[in-house]
Structure formats: C-alpha cells, structure tokens
Amino acid sequence: MSGGTGTPKLLQGLLSLVSETDLSIICNTADDYYFYGLYISPDIDSVLYSLSGLLDEEKWWGIKDDTFNCLDMLKKYGYDTWFQLGDRDLALHIHRTRLLKDGLLLSDVINNISLCLNIKARVLPMTDQKVTTMILTDKGKLNFQEFWVRENANVKVLSIEFEGVKTAEPSRGVIDLITESDVVIIGPSNPITSIGPILEVKGIEKALKMSQSLKIAISPIIGEQPLSGPAGQLMKTQNLEVSPYSIAKIYSNFLDVLFIHNTDTRFISQIEDLGISAFPTNIIMKNQYDKINLAQEILHLIEARRC
Ligand code: FO1
C-alpha cells in the first residue's frame, strides 16, 4: 500500500529482488486534485513513474530532468503556478483527463497508462470514486495540495476529513488482492493522509484484519520525526505522539510486524505489547544500496515466517 513519496523508494528496492509481476500496489487517491482542468493523481503517478524508471528521484514526484516551459507560459497569462507540473508530466495528466472524460474508471485509466509505460506490476487506486483529503485550518478549508504545497504546511491544522470516503467502494480487485496475497506491505508513508484514506475505504481495513497474509509495515517515523512530509504535524493534530509506537497503534487492528529504525530499539517492548513484532534495521533509504538492503531484510523476514 502506497501513498506519498516514501513507498516508491521501497518499491525500487523490492523490484531489484522480486519479479515485477509479483507486485501489486494499492495507491492512495485522496491527494488527487484538478489543476487547469487536468486530473492530477500524485501518489499513483509517483508509483507509475517509479516502476517505469521515469521518476525524479530527488523530489520523488514528477519526471526526472523535466522542463517547466508550459508553466512559465501559463504564468505569463496570469495563472497560478505554485503546483509544479513539468512539461513531460503534463502529458500524463492530459491523457488521463481525456480518458476519464470518455467515461473510463480511474482503475481502467491506470491499466492503460501501465500498458503504455510497459509496467508489469499491478497498480490499483484505492477506489474509483472521488475521495478528497480536506484539512480544516486557521486559513480555511484546504485540500491536501493547497495545504502541503501552496501553504507549505505553514498553517494551524484544526481537523482532517476524507470527503467522500464513507460512500467509496474499493476499486475492482482490491479486496481480493488483500485477502489472497501472501504478504501485504504498508510502505513508509504518512499514516494519516497517505495510508489513512486507504484504510477508511469500505471493507479495506476489515479485509486486512481477516486476511491470512503476513502484514508488515515500515515506520515512516524515526524517533520523534517523520522521514519526510507532514506526518509528524498531522499526527499531533490527531493527539497522537509522534513515534514508531504510534504507527504500531494506528495499524494495531491488523499488523503482524513493524520495521523500525535501528536507533529506535527503546520502542520494541511497547510495540510488542500490542501483539506486533518489532524489527529494527536501517529504514532510511538514501541510495539504491539502502533500498535493496531494506527490501532484502523484509524478504528474509517473510522467508523466516514461512518456515
Ligand atoms: N510537491 C511539492 O512539494 N511541490 C510541488 O509543486 C508538487 C507538484 C507535483 C506535481 C505532480 C505530482 O504528481 C506531485 C507533485 N508534488 C509536489 C508532490 C505531491 O504534492 C505530494 O508529494 C503528494 O501529494 C504527497 O502524497
């Protein structure tokens, strides 16, 4: 399960060790946003670009070496350009928006893009329906991109809501995938706004709980700090302490194993009191070596649990 920019790193490690066809990724869509009339799906796109080797691996979103000529021209015409849409990235948004307007489901659109980009893994949106993370702040109600990119998270967060989630159905195949997979990995993504919306879609958390698969998460928090993004700030607004223990608590309904950083061994007994095994290792993925190492540790653990 993936959202944001943490999980695509792990995905690259896994891709070096397992066949791409053995991987399926369920993506958050609550960060999706219309810009210039184009449908942008950042979390899905980071996964698609990661799998197709196109991803900008400095930012972990958008396409590497992209240019921003279209945005520069739009600025001259008076458009807001705080959301950095690269020229090559725009092609995907134009294509997706057209297919959606033709009546295709988001999951069908992703299948089409996967075919065009020669992606062999299965990429699924959590739902085909509209779900939007709305953040109530002292500057008004903002969607995730307005909060994170336009305001740089420089606002007081009062509450968070996933608009539309109560009536959203999982996209085709999501529940079967969770129940039939050998292993479900919750990537090192923000538990509130990246994985949170996925878990709130009807039946997904229940399927995780009922599934016989081994359920593993990688903590996106080291000590009291998130690896990246607004996870820490958003956890505090939910009255959660920022720690790997909190991650274990959030996923305690279904989780079997939590990978934590090797400096966080002090949390092990607290996590294990929740009935979750804590596995300390290096979870910081700065380069390909780190990504493969973490993926290898996960695969070793899976093998050990099988015996
Ligand atoms: N993140 C930024 O911090 N600034 C941007 O201008 C920006 C543009 C952008 C364009 C396309 C895309 O797919 C992602 C983009 N992101 C940008 C990343 C995005 O805001 C977040 O990383 C995710 O929504 C977090 O889940």
- Check residue 229 and give its pLDDT: 86
What is the fold of 32-125?
A: Helicase, Ruva Protein; domain 3 (1.10.8)
93-146 tens-digit pLDDT: 999 999 999 999 999 999 999 999 999 999 999 999 999 999 999 999 999 999
Q: Does the pLDDT of residue 2 top 90, yes or no?
A: yes
For atom 22 of ligand 1, the residue with the nearest CA is: 4
Q: In terms of CATH, what superfamily is 167-306?
A: CofD-like domains (3.40.50.10680)
CA distance 164 to 89: 27
Domain boundaries, the chain: 32-125, 132-160, 167-306
Q: Does the pLDDT of residue 70 top 80, yes or no?
A: yes
Q: Does the pLDDT of residue 307 top 80, yes or no?
A: no
84 CA: nearest ligand 1 atom: 6
**32-125 and 167-306 in the same fold:** no
**How much is the pTM?**
0.96
CA distance 21 to 37: 34
- Within 8 A by CB and 6+ apart from 261, the residues are 219, 222, 223, 244, 280, 281, 282, 283, 284
- Pocket perturbation via mutation, ligand 1, pick of 25, 67, 84 by most ligand atoms within 8 A of CB: 84
